[in-house]
Structures are given as structure tokens and as C-alpha cells.
Amino acid sequence: GQQLNQSPQSMFIQEGEDVSMNCTSSSIFNTWLWYKQDPGEGPVLLIALYKAGELTSNGRLTAQFGITRKDSFLNISASIPSDVGIYFCAGTGNQFYFGTGTSLTVIP
């Protein structure tokens, strides 16, 4: 299965800072999804985006579905220590494709 490219691969930030990460693909998707994986756990869905150009928020998280339908970004505002984990994007249509992940470390 195709994998989506995420950047950056890893981030180390101070508590309180904002975070931005993105995901790109060579293919068009109908839906973009963002997951978070806590250490030792399975990925859990954070945000789902269903329309090109859509901007959706979930608390301190904001995600956008790119106009080209080939990319998406996720922002986290005012980071806190429990934001630590790996963030994955996923694209779906008839199939489901998973990103390479961005590892986030928040320094108190």
C-alpha cells in the first residue's frame, strides 16, 4: 500500500509552543484523517476531513484538507506534555493509506 509522506519526521518543542506538521501524497484522496499514537498503544483518530479546503478544529487541534486533495496539515496550539506521541495522517477513498508519522516531544 502506498504510504503518505509526513514532515517533519520528529519535533522537539517547549511546552506552550504551537506545532505544525503536514502530509503529502502523489494521489488524490476523498478523506484525510489524523491519528495520534501514544507510546505502547494503537493509533486513535483525532480529526477527519471530508472536503477539499475544509478546515476543522478539535480543541487545540486544527487540520485542513488541501485544495489539491493531495495534502493536509495539522496544527496544535499551546502544546502540553500530554501531546507527546506520534501523529499519523491517513488518506482514504476505496483504499486506506497510512502516513510515515511525525514524532512529537514536548519539553516541560
Partner 1 sequence: EPEVTQTPSHQVTQMGQEVILRCVPISNHLYFYWYRQILGQKVEFLVSFYNNEISEKSEIFDDQFSVERPDGSNFTLKIRSTKLEDSAMYFCASRDRTSNTEAFFGQGTRLTVV
Binding site for partner 1 (CB under 8 A): 1, 3, 30-31, 33, 35, 37, 40-45, 48, 50, 88, 90, 92-98, 100-101
Name the minimum Å distance from CB 22 to partner 1.
16
Extended strands (E) in the chain: 5-7, 10-14, 19-24, 31-37, 44-49, 55-58, 61-65, 71-76, 85-92, 96-98, 102-107
Name the minimum Å distance from CB 34 to partner 1.
10
State the Cα–Cα distance between residues 58 and 67, nearest whole angstrom.
Answer: 20
Closest to partner 1 by CB, 15 or 38: 38
Name the minimum Å distance from CB 1 to partner 1.
4
Closest to partner 1 by CB, 16 or 93: 93
Measure CA 78 to chain center.
Answer: 16
